[in-house]
A and B are shown apart, each in its own frame.
Chain A
Amino acid sequence: MTDTTNSRVPLLVIVDDEEMVLASLRSFLTLETDYELLTFDSPLKALESIRENRIDLVISDYLMPEMTGIEFLLEVKKLQPYATRVLLTGYADKENAIRAINEVNLYQYIEKPWNNEDLKLIIQNGLERRFLMADLEAKIGEVQQAQRSLQDIQAQIIKPAFPI
């Protein structure tokens, strides 16, 4: 899938203050996929990295010491709006989930304990969406570029018609 729309390897960022969660996700995704993974136990460190790298999908815990998953994803949205955002939470709270979906334009909300197969599917779909969005963006850019060219040509054609 990753090679159908885009030749480059997808870059995933995973943030959770619990190292064991990061470890098990790393184990699973390394075994099952060839995505490039960046895992952080601190959202602040993760943001530093996101400023440096172009990322495709981010998975964040909700309850962390430095900031909440929503605050973190909001920052990510500002930095890289096309990156797909997923919340992986053990905190059973519907109110926050709704807030997250509305404010952060969350792609998916996953509850711990998660199912590996479900998670893999969500990541795959999230990436596909992200690349489609990027393609769409690129196509829109091309169309706009073409439109601008057309407008220029039009202007040149029309100008001699009214020489005086």
Chain B
Amino acid sequence: MASEPSQEKFTELEDENRRLRRAVEELSILNAIGTAVSSTMSLKAIVELIVQESVRQLKVEQGAVMLLQDEKDTDPFRTMARKAHSADSDVVPFRFGQQLTGWMLKHQKPLLINDLQEDPRFKAVASSDFPIRSLLSVPLRAKGQMVGLLNVFNKRSKEGFSKADQKLLSIIASQSAQIVENARLYEELQRRSHELQESETKYRALMQEAGEAILLADLDTRRIIEVNEQAEKLTAVPRDALRGRTLADVVPVEEFADAAAFEKMQQDGHLQYSTVRLERRGAAASYVDVGASLVTYGGNRIVQVICHDVTEREKLSSHLRHHAEELEKEVQERTRDLRESQSQLVQQEKMAALGKLVAGIAHELNTPIGTINSNADTLGRSLAKLRGIITNESCNEAIRENPVLQHVLSVVDDISRVNQLASQRIVDIVTTLRNFARLDEADLKIADLHEGLESTLTLVRHELKNRVRVVKEYGDIPPIRCHPNQINQVFMNLLVNASQAVKGKGEVRIKTFREDDMVNVQISDTGVGIPAENLPRIFDPGFTTKGVGVGTGLGLSICFKIVQDHRGNIDVRTEVGKGSTFTVRLPVGDRKSAGQPS
């Protein structure tokens, strides 16, 4: 009887003792875990400690912590630690079936199963290597988020897991989840930091070994922080001297000196590429393609400028440009030459056609005008004889003194004289035409042009009179092979034209000089000049401004043909009111062959 209360007491005490012991155990777990928090234990060590304590406290065969992982393509959980209940028993790895993890992920609440083999939900989980009889799984939560699972398997006693076990494991889980998460975050941070360091090291190595010149500058100050070896070579400035200088100072890109452009770069992340010329002390300037972009380096946003040396390309392109310009020039010259030779050809064709026409006309006119001219002359002679007879003393006085006969004779005399003058003019014109049509007649000779000019001047003296002063500037020119009569005709035409161009008093200047292989004869006047509208036609046959009876309109076209036949050229510079200058250029030719006419 007495034992009953003591028995009761004992039971109470025992219960109390068990509760206390449980509390101590819980406290010791919390203590152990708390120690881990303050220590610098790694995530793995912390997880192992949690698993170890769980296995020990809950008296199970195995325990494990699984953490949720970010990678989506593998299992949602990664097993971080697995522990058997004693050090000498093997930890048999097994797959904590996806049905279970899936269930936990979905429900996120403790799961207690004591007869797994019988549970229809998880039948397939049982592994032959490690037959699971019972399990207890609780979620690890940090700040309300599930971060993993704390699992224990196979209670060593036969009774299986109790609600108390579940409560204990839940306490352990709730206490350790934040610590695990913190450790995980810390490790993640460490890993990231390490990765960053690695990438920085890699970047630095890349930058230094890069084939292109790279300059790094602070985004705000735009001053250079770092450069690579290529940048030193490119700028011909050592690294230490480059550091601290402003970017625009080293690489003359307009945008580098422009704050607005920099702001725009901050938005776009890059600058347009442009080619700039780099002046280098003690070396030839170089050309670089410059590109700038924003990069993160050592955690800071900085400007990365890459300079691609394109000096060779620029040289080539400048060479090509130069070449293209040369070609363009040559094309223009050729075009001008072609145009000139085309107009010369046209002129030549005109001359040839005109030559044929003139020859035909001259031939047709020769006979009738020859006859008329001869008859006019004969008539004059006849009249002279007749008058001689009539005026002779021996003649009958009635006839000699007959006034009507005298009158008729003087009329016929006048007519005859006029006929002779008129026919002579036609003869002159026909002769001119004929000379124009066959300019190749006389033989080639070696002639001194100064002699030709002098004799021509003698012939045109009546035209010059005292009105026109002739200034001679004879230079040193060699005798040339030519048809002297034809060349003299050219001088004659030009001198007569020059003299006629001078109204009133004036000057005609004759200048001769040698230029390369050409002898130049310039005949300038201080006359009226040639109006622009007439200029294209002055060498055309039949074009005259002198008026009917003064010019044939053939003078300059004859000059043109003669000079052309001598393989020379003739041109004119003129200014209305100031005068004209005609320049005749004749080739010096080969003096040796000139001695022997071909």
Contacts and interface: CB of A to CB of B under 8 A. Distances in A.
B165 to A, nearest CB: 142
Contacts of A32: 381
A110 to B, nearest CB: 10
Interface stretch (B112-120, B267-275, B371-379): B371-379
Nearest to A117: B377
Contact of B363 (A92, A94, A115, A117): A92
Nearest to B359: A92
A93 B438 CA distance: 8
B375 A90 contact: no
Contacts of B302: none
B73 interface: no
B441 A21 contact: no
Contacts of B374: 24-25, 27-28, 113-114, 116
A90 B427 CA distance: 12
Interface centre among B369, B377, B385 (most CB of A within 10 A): B377
Contacts of B430: 113
Contacts of A27: 374-375, 378
A113 B382 contact: no
A92 B358 CA distance: 11
A91 interface: yes
Assign chain B's interface to a size class. Answer: 20 to 34
Contact of B377 (A21, A28, A111): A28
A24 B438 contact: no
Contacts of B434: 92, 111
A18 B378 CA distance: 18
Contact of B438 (A20, A94, A114): A94
B391 interface: no
Interface in A1-41: 18, 20-21, 23-25, 27-28, 31-32
Contacts of B593: none
A33 to B, nearest CB: 12
Nearest to A91: B363
Nearest to B423: A113
A154 B235 CA distance: 123
Nearest to A28: B378
A113 B373 contact: yes
Nearest to A29: B378
Contact of A114 (B368, B370, B381): B370
Interface centre among A18, A23, A92, A114 (most CB of B within 10 A): A92
B47 interface: no
A90 B381 contact: no
Given A24-B378, A27-B378, A113 B370 contact: yes
B368 A92 contact: no
Assign chain A's interface to a size class. Answer: 20 to 34
Given A92-B362, A113-B430, A21 B371 contact: yes
Contacts of A23: 371
A31 B366 CA distance: 23
Interface in A66-107: 90-94
Interface string B337-367: 0000000000000000000000100110011
Contact of B370 (A90, A92, A94): A90
Given A92-B359, A94-B441, A112 B366 contact: yes
B437 interface: yes
Interface in B381-431: 381-382, 385, 427, 430-431
A90 B378 contact: no
Interface in B435-475: 437-438, 440-441
Contacts of B369: 112-113
Contacts of A94: 438, 440-441
Contact of B367 (A20, A93, A115): A20
A92 B437 CA distance: 9
Interface centre among B378, B382, B385, B427 (most CB of A within 10 A): B378
Contacts of A116: 374, 377-378, 381
Given A31-B385, A32-B381, A92-B359, A24 B366 contact: no
A113 B427 contact: yes
Contacts of A93: 438
A93 B314 CA distance: 68
Contacts of B371: 18, 20-21, 23-24
Nearest to A61: B367
B367 A31 contact: no
A62 to B, nearest CB: 10
A148 B496 CA distance: 68
A90 B434 CA distance: 10
A21 B375 CA distance: 10
B382 A20 contact: no
Nearest to A18: B367
A28 B371 CA distance: 11
A112 B370 contact: yes
A93 B377 CA distance: 26
Contacts of B431: 113
Given A31-B385, A114-B370, A90 B363 contact: yes
Given A31-B381, A116-B381, 5 more contacts: A20-B371, A31-B382, A92-B438, A94-B441, A115-B373
Interface of B: 359, 362-363, 366-371, 373-375, 377-378, 381-382, 385, 427, 430-431, 434, 437-438, 440-441
Closest 5 CB pairs of A and B: A90-B366, A113-B370, A112-B370, A112-B366, A24-B374
30 contacts: A18-B367, A20-B367, A20-B371, A21-B367, A23-B371, A24-B378, A25-B374, A28-B378, A31-B378, A31-B381, A90-B367, A91-B363, A91-B366, A92-B359, A92-B363, A92-B437, A94-B438, A94-B440, A112-B367, A112-B369, A112-B370, A113-B366, A113-B369, A113-B427, A113-B430, A113-B431, A114-B370, A114-B373, A114-B374, A115-B373
